[in-house]
Amino acid sequence: MLDSSPLFPARDPDAQGWLYRDHGHRVYWEVSGPPHGIPVVVFHGGPGSGASRAHGRFFDPDRFQVVLFDQRGCGRSLPLGGLAANTTAHLVADAEALRHHLRLGPWWVMGGSWGAALALAYAATHRASCRGLLLRGVFLTGHRDLDWFFHGAGTLLPEAHAAFLAPVPRTRRRNPLAWYAKVFAGDDAPAADRAVARWRAWEGAMQAPSHPPPAMEVDPVQSAVLRAKYRIQSAYLQRRCFLGEAAVLDCAARIHGLPTTLLHGRLDLICRPINAWRVHRTLHGSQLAWVDDAGHDPFSPAMAQAMVAATEAIARATGP
């Protein structure tokens, strides 16, 4: 490992490609690590964020074969921002199709935030395909999570919340999600870019309250990616990610006995710690570890250290 970080060194993929799916979707994937390593698939967050090679740094490159993929419409998958045939059920089916495409047996499933909810949905649907789960910062997708994100967290961060609501007409502020979703789905790119900047600043304030917000100006390529990200995110959130809290907890209840580790930052303002507690109490046999001095950022020192420790425990339990 690197001397200055708990993370393993970054590495380029050993293989990459496209998974061709229905309605013209092309799902981008890449794999790194030894062919006979412990297989693990990473479900990225968002919805809409896209995969990051940095997530592969939680895993020993000599022990794990790490599979990353961009969910439909996200990152390098095409069509960028595409919402047709883009639901949680489609994403679950894509992941299983990718496992078959790569000719892998049962794999470990890692997911953070929205990715944790998707991981639970996948495991409940394809339990036999899973060796176990590693979940960070669980998002339950329900009304309570959404009310907290769009309203409740404003009691802790009033200035940032006021800036987030500022462009929303006063008559629409009871449901700012609907207003933002309409802007992201429209054809006015400059208006969507301004909405992206506000949404990103609000997320940044919740993730790192003591840090300055993200830059308002971005290059044209990044701008198109961000518009697609928030178009998908707002569309999913309007539909409670096609799940909802009761459904996510039911998925957890259906995988009793499947090794599951939950990590949650005690200072997480985006996905409240009570979410991990609910999943832990529902999924008998799961292990819950609170991470002090950590919020929602998976790469903060405390959380990164906890994530690496969890993957090393998986490697030890799996054996040579």
For residue 233, give both structure tokens. 């995110």
Which is the catalytic residue, given 60, 70, 94, 268? 268
The Cα–Cα gap between 64 and 8 comes to 12
Which is the catalytic residue, given 32, 49, 77, 113? 113
Residue found by looking up tokens 């198109």 in the block: 224
What is the distance between the terminal CA atoms of the chain, rounded to a whole angstrom?
A: 19
176 by Cβ neighbours in 10 Å (0-12 / 13-18 / 19+) ranks as: buried
Nearest to 149 by CA among 168, 166, 172, 165: 165
**DSSP for 204-246, written as a single string:** HHHH-TTSPPPPS---HHHHHHHHHHHHHHHHHHHTGGGT-HH
The answer to whether 201 and 209 have CB atoms below 8 angstroms apart is no
The Cα–Cα gap between 3 and 163 comes to 40
The beta strand positions in the chain, using DSSP E, are 15-20, 26-32, 38-43, 64-69, 107-112, 130-136, 260-265, 287-291
Q: Among this protein's residues, is 268 annotated catalytic?
A: yes
**Residue type for position 105:** G
Residues in the chain, how many? 320
Phi first, then psi: what are they for 178, rounded to 5°?
-65, -40
Which is the catalytic residue, given 234, 296, 297, 300? 296
Q: Among this protein's residues, is 296 annotated catalytic?
A: yes
- Residue 28: strand, helix, or coil: strand
The answer to whether 283 and 257 have CB atoms below 8 angstroms apart is no
Cα 227 to chain centroid, rounded: 17
Catalytic residues: 113, 268, 296
